[in-house]
Every structure is written in structure tokens, then in C-alpha cells.
Chain A
């Protein structure tokens, strides 16, 4: 477990950090403690997570925490490189996001592991109410900035509704999975009252998100819902038809808002709007070209040519300075996270836990694809941050809470030797047992 949770993530982080330090040192022979702090902070986080999992006798999959920690380290190194990870401003809420995120991840895991997550199933109303309250609160109290709503200090707590809504909708879907699976000749024909119930419960947060203008989050959560629906019912028409409907809605709704139209223009023909709406994505493309296959080395490029590069466009830093190979490596890490998440879902003992894990893994994967697809101009920009790499405290906390939930679902067996069992298990069952 030490190799998974401390050694390898640190080996992903360390060369990135050292690379930035090497570039700075080659420019000027000065190095202060703020430059070394990211390594210390990340190492401390790794040791805390590893220590907690070890003391708590975590027996789940190592892939998810390992990939998540590696991506977290890469995110710290990237934010340090573009100058947004500043340890001198410890009092600001965005700098507290990392400790808060780590603590909430461990707390979620400790509270909900060993199948205690199943006890959440009847409490779906609480999660629905909480997410509605969060979105409505931001809608009322927040102020607009760059097309999104924020609370004071640049916080965007709407991010937290991702795990909340997944936990909520998993109750509904897994509870009604047999009814939802009903169909004829492969065409799902669930009872109307179930459909209406699901629709009516799902509609309020979605409508609030639209009212807030957060179409990216709307698309992400609906796509997550479709993946969960398909996973629960095994009716591919939910998946195919749902995505078709989502595309149709997007094709109609996006050109109706000025912001949506601008993003559509910037996607379809950035060169005609080169100095206005197309500027950010074209600067990112230039950064990719500059990077080539191997990149110019972290710290040695000029990714700051891309406006607000630390946020949604952090991919441009990876592409320019670590090259296409670095992008492939980062996508591999995301792949491990998503694979691990779905694997946890496939092995979960209860349908509910499986559904939650499916939703969380799908949400992480879709977020990655929507972000990377947008910044390489494959799809329109959605304004969704890259999980764990982009700047943003609320997103970091929300992602770490999702990872904590996955840990809790994965860690479902009581430790060997302590729980009384009728018969000893026939050897190790592979990967799931760590002690």
C-alpha cells in the first residue's frame, strides 16, 4: 500500500516540482521555503492518507486512491508552476481547500465504509434538498463572474452537488430498478408513475442549474444520470436515446444564449473570431503545437499566454510543457481512476452502492472528457474544470469527497481475523485485500 499511496504518487509529483525548481534556479540562484512548500505539503497529505488508510485497515481497491493522489500531486505541481499555489496566503479559502478536501475524503470513507453507505439509501430526500439548497443559495447570494456564479472569495459551492445528486439519484434508480427495466423488444417501457416521479425529482436542481446559466454542469449531471440508468437497467436504449435527446436539447438550447452562441462560434470557427471569442482556445492550440511530442519541460514554456490557464485550460500547461506524451500519461492516470471506480461499482455488494460508485466514476470520467475535449477544440467549451488538476477549491473538495465515497464503497469487508466468519476464506481473492 505504501508503494501505491506514497511512493508512486510522489514519484509522479516530484519530477514535476523539481522541473519547475530547476527552471527557476537556472534563471536566478534563489530558492525560498515557499518554493519547497508544495513538496512538503503534498508529502504530508500522502503520509496522512496512507497512515489513515493503514490504521483504518483499508481493504479496498488501491487503484482509485493511488491514481487520485497522483493526480492531486500533479495538480499541485501544475498550480505551483502557473503561480496559483501560493503558500504565503494560507488564510484564503482556496488554500484551505486541500486540507479540507483530504479531511472530508477520509471522513466520508471512515463514516460510510463497511457497507454503512447502504444506510444512506432512504435519506435521498436530504441529499436532494441539500443540493437544491446549495444551487438556490448560490443563485440568490452569488455574484456573476466570467459567466458563472460565485460566493465571496471566489467560492463556487455548486461543485458539491455532483456527489450529492449522484447519491440522491442512486437511491431512486436502484430502488426502482426492476420497474425501470421493464420493456418490450428491448424498448424500455417503465410504468409512467415511476418516470414521472424520477422526472419531477430530477427537474428542480436541473432547472435551477439552467437558471444559473451553468449548462456545462447540466450536461455533465444528465450524462451521469444516463450512465447510471443504463448501468442499473441494462437497457441500452436509455443510454443511446438519452444521449440523443441530450444532444438535441444542447443543439437547440445552446444557440439561444449569447454565451452559448459565443462558445459555439469559438468552437466551429475560432479563426474568424481569433481576437475575441476564439482567442483562448486558439492560444491553447498554439501551446499544444509548441509542446510537440515531448514538451519543453515543466516550467520552461509560456503557457500563461493562454488567458486564465490555471483554471479550465490547465491542460494547455500539460500539453506544452510535458508534451503529447505527458497528456497521454495524464489520461492514463484518469483512466486508472475511472477503471478503478467502475471496478468498485462492479464488485459492490449492494445495488445501491454499486449505483453510487457508477455515478461517481462516470461523473469523474465525463468531467475529464468534457474538459479535455473542450480545450482541444474537439467539442464546444463547457466551462467544466479538469478534476484535481484545475484551480478551484470547491471542485477539489467535491472530487475528493467523491473519491472518499468510492473508498468507502470499496472498503466493504471487515478486516480479516477480526470479523467472525463461518468458514475461512479460500485464500486471497486477488486485489481486494490489503492489510
Chain B
């Protein structure tokens, strides 16, 4: 019997039953009130009749409250912020605000990174799934809009075009009620979906990030963070996943930069006119005030085998960068001096949030790095920071900007995510002479030094590896590089970090090489 009742109540029928029951409720409530009022016989005039003022006040207040409620319940579409909220945060499967037809997010070649399902459900589709999840962002009722979906929301949903309240009302009405959908604007990003896919594949199974910039214009070609998640199937449990897949490590991961920062000290040396040949003895360099000397990696490698390391002796800049000598750059940093170092830190903007996309109050920007302003007496910390350790922390974006400045003859271009905006310089970090000198030394690193595996045929790759000690366990592996075809200006600068993966040349370098191969592959 229950089965037949249940069948009788199958979906179209249940609506009619519910409507009928609703009416029974309305009628019963009104009947009860009328019947109660029927007994409100005439009042005894003069006998505390003023008390009846209060129920009248109650009725007036209740009516006003109900009218205010109707402002949301019936006229909610007149408020663009309310419609926008519903579009983001309404969990109901038949969300009225999903009639809002958002524009697509496209990559630089016009491939869609996010679009609204044309089947009418208003569902948002992310075809590159986990590969571009962090930069594109996603929409979910409990999270709202994240990434570029959130920052460019008024553009994508089309609200920005609507100037007058009349327009907003009309748009809200068509968005929420009509068959005519409210169409938003498309936004083309600078990222390359091919590079995203490749970097995502190369970083799969590891924690890390990869950033690629066009050093000439600051266009962000790649922002990849691993582990990632599928934005089409967001799950709240991702928030408590110990691997923190929701964290965009490319912009918000802060790491000690390790030896990659030596490129900046090299540029500073050339600019300051410090002698480029320094003695690097086996017992290391002890900064004034430091208790223990900074030694080279080789010293410990020999010590482990029971041998005594003879030391590098006198090193030039090219050799020092190729061999990534800690002694050399610690000494060089102290020679350059605290003031010059602090000025460099300012020019590199390591302590700033770097905005990649700004839209009114909404923006996509990086986390702050940390390059402490050193005091005059902090020679020891200066030596540590000069080899990318100490208190120094940087996001992958900050290091990508550093190498892109070297690639662009010393001028750092502002990174940007929206294609078509004007290139803008963040400022000159090095003189052109210094930048070119460092670039030549970085070519040596690839040719003869720690990054020989990055020497791709037909390309001029310049790079620097990094192995960053960190208190959280195994060293972080870094590789930063930029590349050009012979005789051309560098067209891509890459920074890759792989967490707790040991040597930069072993873990991070292959990822960067894969990205370069994909970038220079004939389309």
C-alpha cells in the first residue's frame, strides 16, 4: 500500500499535492484567526481601551517586517549584490541565479579554461581540471568564487557593464526569471593551457610549484601548483587535506630560496664594482660576528668520505656561480655591504605582495616574501641571506621575477594575468651591464656547472639550481632559468620549486626543462 502511495506521489503529482496542502494550511490559519476575531466583540469603551493601541502597533510592525521581507523574497533580483551572492553561494540544485550566463575564461590561445555549460543548468565547467585549478579558481556554494573567477567576477557575470539601477533590475529579472540569459563578458588570460598541462604532469605526485613569465612583457605564461584538485568536483574535505591541495604554492608558498638567490648577489657585485675574483678556502668564510664559518658543499662531501677538501682557491664569478660556491657569495654579500643589500631587497620587492590582476578591490596577488631589512651590525645574517638562507623567504613568483629581470637586461616587468593590458615596468633592478654579465654566468651554469642537463639543443638556456635548507625537513629543490632561441631576446623565464626533494638539479630541473621544451615546441 505504501508502494502504491509512493508511486501515486511520484514527482509531478507531489507538487499538486503540496500545493493543495499549502492551501489547506492558509485557509485553516485564516479561518482560525477570523473565528478568534469573531469573538472580539465590541469593547467596553473607556475601559482600558487604549491597550488596543499595542496590538495595532504590532500589526503595523508585522506588516512593515513582511514588506521588508518581500523586498528579498519577491524583489531580490533588484539587488545586484544579492543576485551575485545567490549565484555564488546558493546550494540549491535549481539555483535561480544560475540563469546568469557567465562569460568564459580563455587561455592566451583562446582555449577555454572555464565556461558555463550550455545545457542550461548554469553549471561551470573547468576542462583543464586540476592543471589550471589554482589560477582559474572555481565556484562552489560554500567557498564562493576563488582565483580569477572571483577577481574578475563583475566582468565575467556582466555586472560591470550595467551602470543604472534600471539596468541592474532588468538584468536581475532576466537572469533570475527569464529565458533570456544575462550574458557576461569573456576574459582572456595570459597563461598557456599547454604549459599548465605539462607542468601539472611533471609535478604530479609531488609538492611544488612552477611559474613562467615572459620577461619582455611580464605576461604570466604558467602558474602551476601541485598537488592540485579538480575544480569540477570540489569537496570541503580538501580544506583539511594535509597536503593542502587548495594552497596556490606558486603565489602563496613561501620558501627559502637557496642558491638561486646568488644570481641577485652576482648582479649586485657587478653593479657595486666589487672585485669579481675572491678566495674560497676550504675552511670557509666567517662573517664578522659569526661563530661558525659558511662552508661549501664539497667540504662536507669530502668530510663524509674521510678526506680533506683542498678548497676552490681563487674563484671568478662564472666559476663561482657554476659551482654554486657558498663561500664566494657569502663573502661577496658582505663585501657589497648592508646598505646595498637593503636597496637590492627593495628593488626586488621581496617584501611586497605582487599583484597579477587588479579589478577594483578584487585582486589576484602573491604572498609577501621575506627579505629582512638588515641592520648595520647584522653581517652574519647578511652572509646567510646572500646564499639564500637565513631569514630569507620568497614565493616562486618572486624568484621568477628575479630571473625575468636578469633576462630583460635588468628591468623587472610587472606580472599580469589579463591579456591585452599594457606592459608596465616595476623598475630597474640591475644595470643592463650587470644583468648581461649575470646572464652570461648563468649560461656557464648550464654549459659546465650544476645545470648541465638543462642544455637543450637549439636553445640558449641560462639557469641556476638551488637546494634550500629548511627547518621542515628535507631540502627544497629549486631551479630558475630563462631561455631564448639563439640570437633572439629571452622569451620565457621559469622558476620551479619542489618541496623536500633534495638537489635542485635532480628534482626541479627536469620540470623546468619539460616546460621549456613544451614552450619552444612548434605549435
The residues of A with any CB-CB pair to B shorter than 8 Å are 3-4, 8-9, 11-12, 14-16, 18-19, 22-23, 25-26, 28-31, 61-63, 66-67, 70, 227, 231, 234, 271, 274-275, 279, 282-283, 285-286, 288-302, 305, 319, 322-336, 338-340, 342-343, 345-347, 354, 358, 361-362, 365, 368-369, 372-373, 376-378, 429-431
Contact = CB atoms under 8 A, between A and B. Distances in A.
Nearest to B54: A342
B48 to A, nearest CB: 4
Contact of A297 (B22, B42, B62): B22
A377 B91 contact: no
Interface in B47-104: 47-52, 54-55, 58-59, 61-62, 64-66, 68-70, 72-74, 76, 81-82, 85-86, 88-92, 96
B440 interface: no
Contacts of B301: none
B73 A289 contact: yes
Contacts of A234: 50
Interface residues of B, number: 70
A22 B74 CA distance: 27
Nearest to A269: B81
Contact of A319 (B7, B39, B69): B69
Given A297-B15, A378-B68, A66 B55 contact: no
A275 B1 CA distance: 46
Secondary structure of the A contact surface, majority rule = helix
A48 B54 CA distance: 32
Nearest to B142: A275
A361 B39 contact: no
A327 B25 CA distance: 11
B179 interface: no
A273 to B, nearest CB: 11
Contacts of B86: 286, 289
Contacts, number: 253
Nearest to B77: A289
B56 to A, nearest CB: 9
Describe B's contact surface by its main secondary structure.
helix
A63 B40 contact: yes
Nearest to A337: B36
Interface string B482-523: 000000000000000000000000000000000000000000
A282 B74 CA distance: 15
Nearest to A341: B55
B51 A231 contact: yes
Contacts of B35: 3-4, 8, 66
B58 A329 contact: no
A328 B7 CA distance: 33
B20 to A, nearest CB: 8
21 contacts: A4-B36, A8-B32, A19-B18, A25-B9, A227-B54, A285-B82, A289-B72, A289-B73, A290-B90, A300-B14, A324-B74, A329-B30, A331-B66, A335-B58, A358-B51, A358-B54, A362-B54, A368-B58, A369-B62, A376-B72, A431-B39
Given A285-B76, A336-B32, A62 B39 contact: yes
A66 B43 CA distance: 20
B92 A302 contact: yes
B113 to A, nearest CB: 24
A312 to B, nearest CB: 15
